[in-house]
Amino acid sequence: MPSPEYFQSAWCRSEWKWKSFLAREKRIADHDGGNCSLVFPIKLHDGLWFPREAQETQQLDLSAYAATTRAFWQSQRADELDQIIRKRLAPALAKVVAEAPDYEDDWPIETDTPLPAPAQVEMIRL
């Protein structure tokens, strides 16, 4: 899942779900009639100023574990994160990868413009 700077990048916004990947998912559904997810969003930030589409996207929320100190890795919270990664993240991600369609040279590529940095946004300290 994106960081605060993610939506300020034209390339990142172009890859985000409602652009290129959404177009690819739609193409798969139109061709195969199947429902395929090409994006596995993980939230690592509070996301309060993310665009509405990003805030509404179902995601694995790991923002409570986005530690910035060495002490975190010696704590019970690090053990909790390890359990989430092993029991939820890894199996779910493996399933998405296993079900992903083969690459096609003519996958649609949509472009977008970056969002400006939010003004006067106070970031939540972790």
pLDDT tens column, 53-78: 777 777 788 888 887 788 988 899 99
- pTM passes above 0.85: no
Q: Is 43 helix (H, G, I), strand (E, B) or coil?
A: strand
∠ CA 63-18-2, rounded to 5°: 25
Q: pLDDT category, 113, cuts 50, 70, 90?
A: low
Residue 86 has pLDDT above 90, yes or no: yes
pLDDT tens column, 12-42: 766 665 567 777 778 888 877 767 777 778 8
Helix (H), strand (E), coil (C) string for 75-118: CHHHHHHHHHHHHHHHHHHHHHHHHCCCCCCCCCCCCCCCCCCC
Residue 88 has pLDDT above 80, yes or no: yes
Q: pLDDT category, 116, cuts 50, 70, 90?
A: low
